Amino acid sequence: EENNYTHFIKQIVEKDMESGAYDTIVTRFPPEPNGYLHIGHAKSIVLNFELADEFGGKTNLRFDDTNPLKEDKEYVESIKRDIEWLGYDPEAVRFASDYFDEMYNQAVSLIKRGLAYVEDLSQEEVRKLRGTLTEPGKESPSRERSVEENLDLFERMKNGEFGDGEKTLRARIDMSSPNMNLRDPVLYRISHTEHHNTGNKWCIYPMYSFAHPLEDAIEGVTHSLCTLEFEDQRPLYDWVIANAELDAEPKQIEFARLNLTNTVMSKRKLKQLVDENYVDGWDDPRMPTISGLRRRGFTPESIKQFCREIGVSKADNLVDVRMLEHFLREDLKLEAPRTMAVLDPIKVIITNYPEDGLEWLPADINPENESMGMREIPFSREIYIEREDFMEDPPKKYFRLFPDNEVRIKHAYFIHCHDYKKDENGQITELYCTYDPETKSGSGFTGRKVKGTLHYVEASQAVPAEFRLYDSLIDDEAEGDNFLDFVNGESLTVKHGFVEPNMKDVKANDKFQFFRHGYFSVDPEEATDEKLVFNRIVELKSSFKL
């Protein structure tokens, strides 16, 4: 895929290549396996993979699994699957935990050079000494320990002689630095927790801000792209790189996170929606996860094109979720077969059509792409139309069917409504119409005009189907942690209707444009031989303009 988009990070890389600062580029995508990937991660994936690719470089997938409490193998597998589905192939798949030995050795080396010490003050006490933005911190008494004592204590930390929180390893940097992150940050903490990868081998774990630069350097990463909230950490990143005994010199570059309207985008919050059953799982089609978008019917190309178009900058912004929908329509409009589905059926009886008659009418598969050819659809005495396409007592400018009105049935004939039947609840159950054989579609009939065109499905051959229509999961006023108060209780509407007979053999994830209703995809989980289930991906039109 050609990527013609430029942005400030690409310009930095261009300069670095020209100046010879690096002779190849290596990037990484570093998710923490504590949840499923979401559309925000897609922005980072597209950026990292396509940037490296453009300069002939490579991208690793690296699981940042330094926090054993929240991590899980299920998440690791889902992340691999999602990246592959998007169409990227990592140069290597690594785990931060692969480097725990190396990280430990680097910490020992810092201790030996007087650059790190074991702290026995509690977290609370350490916080008190840290100072504030306007007030320098105070040095802890632990800072003056000898190298020998630090080496001994650190080894005993590793050997499990202390409980969680009893000791930490801190960098010896500068307690009066204006950057709080440099006031002797913690490098290692004790946590007697089993790790999904290393089991019970370790009871001390490196902090993210120590581990991350080391992981980058070990892998020979040249440009370490992260989101803006790490900007204040960059001096610490640089300190670790400068003091580690590793050759590579990666540089950290920050860019703005993707924020989307009507969307929460944090694994923690998405996990809450799953755990508290607001949705049916991480791949619920309403979720902004890659797996949710996939199940809903979004294509990899629509997601990638969206990520390219939103651009990469240093300024936080909020992107309209309709922009993502726009790229789905763009991607499918020439490829998705057109077909007719009646979502909320009402039966029409064509009283002057032969009792046992059935004919097959030609219909184009995609009028915007003639190469897709034609299909045949049945027509007979009984057809279904949408309930909303008939009104007993229509307002002005209602051009669909009503008593004594005539409309066109798409691909078929004009029909004229003469009568209708209601049940005891006043619900209309059947319409009685006649058709005019002279008005057959394609016959060139010009005798008279009608204003409305209705889609239909012939009754005897109709295939029953369930349709799932989605609305935003989150109302647009939601902000911060109160998002659960803004969950839309009507984000899912289920309809039962019919599709054309040639839809009988559809497969999971097949995508269609249903006349007037929008783009739909066959649900891969719940569609069975007896029951087709379609997810609406997006509606046909939107007021959104690029």
Residues that bind ligand ATP (CB under 6 A): 30-32, 40-41, 43-44, 226-227, 257-258, 265-267
Q: Are 246 and 52 in contact (CB under 8 A)?
A: no
Q: How far is the CB of 63 from ligand ATP (least distance, A)?
A: 9
Please name the residue that has the structure tokens 């008659």.
Answer: 357
Q: How far is the CB of 28 from ligand ATP (least distance, A)?
A: 9
Instruction: Considering only the stretches 30-38, 254-262, 389-397, 478-486, report the one whose residues sit in contact with Mg ion under the rule CB under 5 A.
Output: 30-38
| CA 35 distance to own-chain centroid | 12
Using left for φ > 0, alpha for ψ between -120 and 50, and beta otherwise, residue 514 falls in: beta
Q: How far is the CB of 273 from ligand ATP (least distance, A)?
A: 13
Instruction: Kindly tell me which of 41 and 167 has the beta carbon lying closer to Mg ion.
Output: 41
Choose the contact partner of 265 out of Mg ion, ligand ATP, none; CB within 5 to 8 A by kind.
Answer: ligand ATP
Q: How far is the CB of 102 from ligand ATP (least distance, A)?
A: 21
Residue number closest to Mg ion, CB atom: 32
Residue 150: beta bridge partners? none
Identified catalytic residue from 267, 294, 295, 296 = 267
Choose the contact partner of 213 out of ligand ATP, Mg ion, none; CB within 5 to 8 A by kind.
Answer: none
Q: Are 67 and 205 in contact (CB under 8 A)?
A: yes
Which tokens is 166 given? 């009893």
Instruction: Kindly tell me which of 70 and 138 has the beta carbon lying closer to ligand ATP.
Output: 70
Instruction: Kindly tell me which of 48 and 168 has the beta carbon lying closer to ligand ATP.
Output: 48
Instruction: Kindly tell me which of 31 and 378 has the beta carbon lying closer to ligand ATP.
Output: 31
Instruction: Considering only the stretches 24-32, 224-232, 407-415, 463-471, report the one whose residues sit in contact with Mg ion under the rule CB under 5 A.
Output: 24-32
Choose the contact partner of 175 out of ligand ATP, Mg ion, none; CB within 5 to 8 A by kind.
Answer: none
Alpha helices by DSSP H, 282-357? 290-296, 300-310, 321-332
> Do the bridges between strand 382-386 and strand 345-350 make them parallel or antiparallel, or are there none, so unpaired?
antiparallel
Q: Report the first-to-last Cα separation within the chain, whole angstroms.
A: 21
Residue number closest to ligand ATP, CB atom: 40
Instruction: Kindly tell me which of 316 and 438 has the beta carbon lying closer to ligand ATP.
Output: 316
Choose the contact partner of 400 out of Mg ion, ligand ATP, none; CB within 5 to 8 A by kind.
Answer: none
DSSP E strands, 99-163 = 116-119
Q: What is d(CA 176, CA 174) in angstroms, rounded to the nearest whole number?
A: 5
Give catalytic status of residue 468 as yes or no: no
Q: How far is the CB of 267 from Mg ion (least distance, A)?
A: 6
Choose the contact partner of 40 out of ligand ATP, Mg ion, none; CB within 5 to 8 A by kind.
Answer: ligand ATP
Q: How far is the CB of 274 from ligand ATP (least distance, A)?
A: 13
Q: What is d(CA 337, CA 364) in angstroms, rounded to the nearest whole number?
A: 9
Q: Are 102 and 210 in contact (CB under 8 A)?
A: no
Instruction: Considering only the stretches 29-37, 193-201, 352-360, 441-449, report the one whose residues sit in contact with Mg ion under the rule CB under 5 A.
Output: 29-37
Identified catalytic residue from 10, 32, 359, 408 = 32
Q: How far is the CB of 155 from Mg ion (least distance, A)?
A: 30
Choose the contact partner of 536 out of Mg ion, ligand ATP, none; CB within 5 to 8 A by kind.
Answer: none
Instruction: Kindly tell me which of 32 and 330 has the beta carbon lying closer to Mg ion.
Output: 32
Choose the contact partner of 258 out of ligand ATP, Mg ion, none; CB within 5 to 8 A by kind.
Answer: ligand ATP
CA distances from 224 to 30, 31, 259, 297, 369 (A): 10, 13, 21, 32, 43
Identified catalytic residue from 70, 130, 257, 387 = 257
Which residues 6+ apart lie within 8 Å of 4 measured at CB? none
Using left for φ > 0, alpha for ψ between -120 and 50, and beta otherwise, residue 26 falls in: beta
Choose the contact partner of 226 out of Mg ion, ligand ATP, none; CB within 5 to 8 A by kind.
Answer: ligand ATP
Instruction: Considering only the stretches 27-35, 142-150, 393-401, 481-489, report the one whose residues sit in contact with Mg ion under the rule CB under 5 A.
Output: 27-35
Choose the contact partner of 158 out of Mg ion, ligand ATP, none; CB within 5 to 8 A by kind.
Answer: none
Give catalytic status of residue 14 as yes or no: no
What are the strands of the beta sheet with 414-422, ordered from one edge?
453-454, 406-409, 414-422, 428-436, 345-350, 382-386, 457-458
Q: Are 34 and 75 in contact (CB under 8 A)?
A: yes
CA distances from 162 to 100, 104, 155, 189, 376 (A): 19, 17, 11, 11, 76
Instruction: Kindly tell me which of 270 and 407 has the beta carbon lying closer to ligand ATP.
Output: 270
Number of residues that bind Mg ion (CB under 5 A): 1
Instruction: Kindly tell me which of 108 and 265 has the beta carbon lying closer to ligand ATP.
Output: 265
Instruction: Kindly tell me which of 32 and 102 has the beta carbon lying closer to Mg ion.
Output: 32
DSSP E strands, 199-280 = 204-206, 223-227, 251-255, 258-260
| CA 446 distance to own-chain centroid | 50
Q: Which amino acid is at 64?
A: D
> By C-alpha distance, which of 252, 211, 201 is closest to 228?
252
Q: How far is the CB of 265 from Mg ion (least distance, A)?
A: 11
Residue 539: beta bridge partners? none
Instruction: Considering only the stretches 11-19, 31-39, 52-60, 483-491, report the one whose residues sit in contact with Mg ion under the rule CB under 5 A.
Output: 31-39
**Length of the chain counted residue by residue:** 546
> By C-alpha distance, which of 341, 276, 385, 273 is closest to 520?
341
Residue 209: beta bridge partners? none
Radius of gyration in angstroms for the set of CA atoms belonging to the chain, rounded to a whole number: 31
Choose the contact partner of 44 out of ligand ATP, Mg ion, none; CB within 5 to 8 A by kind.
Answer: ligand ATP
Q: How far is the CB of 33 from ligand ATP (least distance, A)?
A: 8
Residue 251: beta bridge partners? 223
Give catalytic status of residue 541 as yes or no: no
Q: How far is the CB of 270 from ligand ATP (least distance, A)?
A: 7
Instruction: Kindly tell me which of 61 and 171 has the beta carbon lying closer to ligand ATP.
Output: 61
Residues that bind Mg ion (CB under 5 A): 32
Active site residues: 32, 257, 267
